[in-house]
Structure formats: structure tokens, C-alpha cells
Amino acid sequence: MEGEGEALFTPDGGGFLPGELARGPWSPEALHGGPVAALAVRAAECCEPDGGLQLVRLTLELLRPVPLSHLSVGARLVRPGRRVQLVDVTIEAGGVAVALARGLRMRVAPPPGAQAAAAPPTDEPRPLPPERGVVVDPLRADYRAFHNGAVEIRFVDGQFDVPGPATAWFRLRYPVVPGEEPSPWQRAAAAADFGNGISAQFPFGSAMFINPDLTVELARPPEGPWVGLEARTRFGSPGIGWAESALWDATGRIGRSTQTLLVE
């Protein structure tokens, strides 16, 4: 990965200190949701015991802007089991919870003597591969941040400055924490928070469309460094929106992500 010794977060006194590459597009003092989601995934993956179960869903609640300051991260197993487990993650800044997450882990292999149901074939059209994508200049490049420095983005349909649905591929360029290769789930969570950004229905600068939550569901972890998003934003009641993304890797569809949007 790029950047010798640089990462989204640095271990700091039993917690983590965000770096400038974790910052978001709305303020240089607040983090992008992608790094926060990846940090929550890491905590859920490290929470023992997992008994060989696989993380299949993470729901992240962004309670308030996550600051560029020391973060305490805790995880606990709240629903143990051999087939299904739930892990709760709390991220605090200054003793105040700024984000909560719940991870769902499920058994992968059937028990001895049982037979797994075969997955039905799918004819869902695949997006163009990242090799066919176009690198575009990121918005809000006036300070170094996650969206313009920590990920490589290649659009295969749509672009940042054109409102409407879009499809893009994302590659994490830096580790979540130093010396650790990001897990496939961490890569997926970091990319999934871009859904509302690439499919924005308003030009940047004319409105804010902040997501106070993010849900990622994966039938399987992505293979390889690239995670693709086919994203679309929709609106309901005044001031309320919803972004949904189909998630892909180089071999096929892997899941989906959703974000509720506060539109101002």
C-alpha cells in the first residue's frame, strides 16, 4: 500500500488518533464516514470469540460529527452463538459516544452431514471493470482528506459533478491502522460510504446531504483491492433522502449498502 508508515488511524493511548487522511468533505475537523466504518469493522472483527463465523452485516449510527481527536473504541459480544452472533461497537471522543455499530456474524459452512443449498445463477449485468474507469479530480480538494487522498476512484458511469446515478470503483490506498493490511470487509465498508456522494442529485455546494447512518450487507467479502458501487439517490418527505448502492468486486456482486440522508 502507499504512504510509508501513514494510515487512517494511529494507535494512541489505548485508542486511536485519526490522521488527516480520515477527514471528510463537509469539514476538515470532522471525519469521513468511510474511515469510521472501517474502524468499526476492525473492532467487530477483533471481538472474540467468533467461532469461525463471518461478518455479514454492519450497521453504523453516526451520532454526531466524529472529530479529528483521540477516539476510544470498544466492542463486546452481545449475542453469542454457534450459528449467529451480534457484536456491538462503541466509538467515543472525550467520553462521549460519537458512533455506534452493530455487526452480525453468521456461520459459513453447514454442520457435518448437512448439505448447503446451491446458490441460483444470476444474470445481473456487471459494471465495467476498474481498468475501464476514468480517474476524475475529487471535489473539495482544498485540504487533504479521505475522499481526495486515501482512495483511488475510477468512474465507469457518471461523475462527481453531474447529478444522478453513478457507478465507480474504489481502492483503499492506505491501511486503516499502521502495519495491518486492511481486511476485505474493511475495504468494503470504507468504500460503501461514498454512495450518496457519487449519486448526488444536487450539485456540491448547493445543498448538504449528510448520512447519519450506513448499513453494509455482504453475502461474501470482496476479492482483490477494488470495490465497486452502483449508486442511486432517491427522495421522500421534504428534507429526507435515501441512497442505495449495489456492491461489486472484480468477480461479481457481493452485497449492498444503504444510507439515510439529511438534506439541507
Is this structure's pTM higher than 0.75?
yes
Encode pLDDT of 138-148 as tens digits. Answer: 666 789 999 99
Encode pLDDT of 212-221 as tens digits. Answer: 999 999 999 9
Cα separation, 244 vs 231, in Å, equals 6
Q: Which pLDDT does position 219 carry in this prediction?
A: 96
Cα separation, 57 vs 258, in Å, equals 11
Percent of the chain clearing pLDDT 70 (strictly above):
91
Over range 11-16, report the average pLDDT.
94
Cα separation, 170 vs 191, in Å, equals 6
CB neighbour list of residue 178: distance below 8 Å, 6 or more residues apart: 5, 6, 7, 10, 11
* CATH placement of domain 9-108+129-263: 2.40.160.210
Encode pLDDT of 63-96 as tens digits. Answer: 999 999 999 999 999 999 999 999 999 999 999 9
Band of pLDDT at residue 50, cut at 50, 70 and 90? confident
Over range 99-118, report the average pLDDT.
80
Band of pLDDT at residue 10, cut at 50, 70 and 90? very high
**Structural contact between residues 101 and 42, judged by C-beta atoms closer than 8 angstroms:** no
Band of pLDDT at residue 109, cut at 50, 70 and 90? confident
Examine the pLDDT at 227 and tell me if it is beyond 70: yes
